[in-house]
Amino acid sequence: MIDIKLVRENPDLVKENMKKKFQDHKLSLVDDILNLDVERRNAINEVDELRASRNILSKEIGQLMGQGKKEEAEEIKKQVQANAERLTELEALSRTLDEKVTAIMMQIPNIIDPSVPIGKDDSENVEVEKYGEPVVPDFEIPYHIDIMKTFAGVDLESSAKVAGNGFYYLMGDIARLHSALLSYARDFMIDQGFTYCIPPYMIRSEVVQGVMSFAEMDAMMYKIEGEDLYLIGTSEHSMIGKYIDSIVEEETLPHTLTSYSPCFRKEKGAHGIEERGVYRIHQFEKQEMIVLCMPEDSMSWYNKMWQNTVDFFRTLDIPVRTLECCSGDLADLKVKSVDIEAWSPRQQKYFEVGSCSNLGDAQARRLKIRRKGDSGKGFVHTLNNTVVAPPRMLISFLENNLQADGSVLIPKALQGYMGNKEKMIPKK
């Protein structure tokens, strides 16, 4: 959510930003906000005047009563009563207008960074840089589920009976590999100076509304029936929510946290759920990182964060690339975002394995995460980035480390988490 002062002082900038995001249908919201804001401020001014008048008239009544002028005092009391009734009406009106303004403000997209490429959707995202040399081996790479089955490592048939499509059983070496990747990611981030955290896996609606747009919430979140709780779709929501309605001392910034959690997503929309595979699923686990920092430091942290993910994948000998998200592909709260994509030898193309986003002060404004210090008062900036999210990451790992004999090499960085094995040997 942007500052309403920006809408008041530069509505054309806000409208131009909407056009860059191809959200022309929202342009009228700016005028709606301006009209409601005038009405709200007029109501607030009248409330202030009535309260001041009440104090003056109350003193006047006291003086008249002291002088024995009861009839004159009674007339002023009638005026005070009328003012009190009007004050009650105005206070109710102000609350209603506040709610309307907030509801509309939460639909207005954040101001994107000038460096963001302009484009309608993810088909117009821009490749930034490649890391590592993509290799296509001289033998056929099977589908990832078929690779896992050679290790007796996956059972989708049983999970479909238990929970439906979009779930899985991982077993044996594949399950161990899954856990090893998360453990290595945890230690990798701790070595980068981040504080390890395990957050709540459910959050209240006020946190959900603070960290994402309504459209995202509807497409992603599972609600707990009968309770004001949602299963998290990603742990940065719970991690940012940790700071709700708080004041952070500037001298303690930045706050750098890395978190583990399971994640639950509806995956509602055009992509759907695969019946055979673990690329797009309802349940997965993830190692995440978040940063709270001073506004002037957020772009520097943005670059450090996505570089951490690139470095992590490169220690596992997996080629990756960064892809700048264009304006139309940015969620409403984001200022700038980059996807990290891993190389798939089987498909001979890259696919998304993580995303790094700078949200400016949008989440902090919604959640009232304030800062104070030598620079005065204001809001922090929040950023998030995926370190690793298996089992999707297993796809790139297995494909890039698969050998012609069906074995899978374990890179040196991961061997200590896999019982010092140098390779995984298929069972069939």
Q: Give the β-pairing of 154-155 and 169-170.
A: antiparallel
The 10s digit of each residue's pLDDT in 396-421 is 999 999 999 999 999 999 999 999 99
Q: Is 137 helix (H, G, I), strand (E, B) or coil?
A: coil
Alpha-carbon distance 59 to 83, whole Å?
15
**What's at 254, amino acid-wise?**
P
Q: How large is the average pLDDT for residues 286-295?
A: 97
pLDDT the model gives residue 77: 82
User: Any idea which residue has 């490169």 for tokens?
Assistant: 314
8-state DSSP, 106:
T
Does position 75 have pLDDT exceeding 90, yes or no?
no
Location of structure tokens 């001073």 = 294
Q: Which pLDDT does position 181 carry in this prediction?
A: 97
Whether the predicted pLDDT of 261 surpasses 80:
yes
State CA 395 to chain mean position distance: 24
Tens-digit pLDDT profile for residues 327-376:
999 999 999 999 999 999 999 999 999 999 999 999 999 999 999 999 88
* pLDDT per residue as tens digits for the range 24-57: 999 999 999 999 999 998 988 888 888 888 778 8
pLDDT for the residue 57 = 81
- pLDDT bin (cut points 50, 70, 90) of residue 23 is very high
Are 50 and 57 in contact, with CB atoms under 8 Å apart? no
**Alpha carbon of residue 287 to chain centroid:** 14
- The pLDDT-based confidence of 270 (bands split at 50, 70, 90) is very low
The 3-state DSSP class for residue 236 equals: helix
**CA–CA dist 33, 205 (Å, integer):** 24
Higher pLDDT, 113 or 215: 113
Say which residue, 1 or 284, is predicted with more confidence.
284
- Nearest Cα residue to 384 out of 240, 285, 228: 240
- For the CA atoms of the chain, what is the radius of gyration? 28
- Taking the CA atoms of 223, 224, 230 and 234 in sequence, report the sign of the dihedral they define: negative
Detail the DSSP E strand segments found in 240-363. Answer: 246-249, 255-264, 283-293, 320-324, 336-344, 349-358
Report the DSSP beta bridge partners of residue 387: none
Percent pLDDT > 90 in the chain is: 79
Question: Helices (DSSP H) in 106-213: which residue ranges?
Answer: 144-150, 156-162, 172-191, 205-211
Residue 353: closest CA among 399, 419, 292, 416: 399
Mean pLDDT across the chain: 93
Give CA–CA dist 171/183, Å, rounded: 17
Please say if the pLDDT value at position 69 is more than 60: yes
Domains and CATH numbers, the chain: 4-105 (1.10.287.40), 122-424 (3.30.930.10)
Closest CA to 213 of 103, 369, 333: 333
Kindly state the average pLDDT of the residues 306-326.
97
Residue 269 pLDDT: 53
Question: What would the two tokens of residue 168 be?
Answer: 């899985």
Listed residue (159, 171, 384) closest to 281, CA to CA:
159
Percent of the chain with pLDDT over 70: 98
Q: In residues, how long is the chain?
A: 428
Question: Which pair of structure tokens corresponds to residue 28?
Answer: 């009228």
pLDDT at 273: 58
The Cα 381–Cα 369 span in angstroms is 9
Residue 159 banded pLDDT, cuts 50, 70, 90: very high
Checking if the pLDDT of 386 tops 60, the result is yes
Residue 2 pLDDT greater than 80, yes or no: yes
